[in-house]
Amino acid sequence: MSKVFIPAIDLPSVQTVVETCRQFEGFAYPMIGLHPEEVKADYPAVLAEMRRLLDANLPSAGKCDVVSPRQQPPFIAIGEVGLDYYWSREFEQEQLAAFEEQVRWSIETRLPLMIHCRKAQNEMVNLLKRYKDDLPGGVFHCFTGNEREAEELLQFPRFVLGIGGVLTFKKSHLPETLPAVVPLESIVLETDSPYMAPVPMRGKRNESSYVRFVQQRLAECYQTTEEHISAVTDANVERIFSLS
C-alpha cells in the first residue's frame, strides 16, 4: 500500500483532513465534500465555504492561505458525497440539492466523485443520468448490492465499484455477484476505516493494512492470483484519480 485517500465529511473535518495529508505528504491525499448524513438546513452556507476551499486548493492552485499559510496538498476528489436515507428522510430534498451541486463541482473541476449511497440508489442514479456524458468518473463507495444494482451503476463508464470488508462476511452475496457481472477493471479495493473490518478482523477497528484480506477474498472469487488483483485494482485507482 503506497497511498491512502482521506475524505472530508463536513466543514470542520476539511482542516483535519488537510493537516493530516500535509503531515504525510506523498502518502495521504485529501478529498473534500459534504457527506449526506451531515446535510442540514444550513447546507448552502457550508457548501459555499467548501467551494471556496476547493477552488483555493485545486491541483493548479499552488500556495494559498485559506486553510493555512503553508502549502496545501491539492484535493484529489469530491467526496464523500451522495445520498443516505437509511436513518431518516428529514432532509431528503436538501440531500438531493447538496449532492447535485457537488456533482457539478466534479464536472467543473474534473475531479472524480467518491459517492456514498444507502437506501437511495434510484434517486442517485436518476440524478447522475442527467449528467452522464459530462461526469469525469469516480467510485461508488462501499458497494454491497446485487447484480441488477451493479449493472445499473456500471452504466456510468468512468466509474468503478469500491469493494471492502463486506466481501469477506459469511452472509455476503458479493462473492457470487461480482464475478457474474463486474469485470475486475471496474473494481477498486477499499478500507472504509474505522468501520467494516474484514474477516478475520471483523469486530475490530478497521485499518488500511487490512485491505489485504479483501484482496485475498477477491482473488478467490475471480479464481486468480492476489498479484493480479493488486495489479488491476491499482491500475484502476491510477486511472480514476490521475495521481502523478
Query: What percent of the chain is predicted at pLDDT more than 70?
Result: 93
| Secondary structure string (H, E, C) spanning the chain | CCCEEECCCCHHHHHHHHHHHHHCCCCEEEEECCCHHHCCCCHHHHHHHHHHHHHHCCCCCCCCCCCCCCCCCCCCEEEEEEEECCCCCCCHHHHHHHHHHHHHHHHHHCCCEEEEEECCHHHHHHHHHCCCCCCCCEEECCCCCCHHHHHHHCCCCCEEEEECHHHHCCCCCHHHHHHHHCCHHHEEECCCCCCCCCCCCCCCCCCHHHHHHHHHHHHHHHCCCHHHHHHHHHHHHHHHHCCC
pLDDT band at 97 (very low <50, low <70, confident <90, very high): very high
pTM attached to this predicted model:
0.93
What is the average per-residue pLDDT within 200-228? 97
pLDDT band at 76 (very low <50, low <70, confident <90, very high): very high
User: What is d(CA 93, CA 123) in angstroms, rounded to the nearest whole number?
Assistant: 11
Predicted local confidence at residue 244, as pLDDT: 58
User: What is d(CA 199, CA 212) in angstroms, rounded to the nearest whole number?
Assistant: 11
Domains of the chain: which residue ranges?
A: 1-99, 137-244
| pLDDT surpasses 70 at 32 | yes
pLDDT band at 65 (very low <50, low <70, confident <90, very high): very low
Predicted local confidence at residue 1, as pLDDT: 63
- Phi then psi for residue 160, to 5 deg, are -130, 165
Predicted local confidence at residue 57, as pLDDT: 83
9, 12, 13, 15: CA torsion to nearest 10:
140
Q: How many CB atoms lie within 10 A of CB 202?
A: 15
Query: Which CATH topology does 137-244 take?
Result: TIM Barrel (3.20.20)
User: What is d(CA 110, CA 237) in angstroms, rounded to the nearest whole number?
Assistant: 15
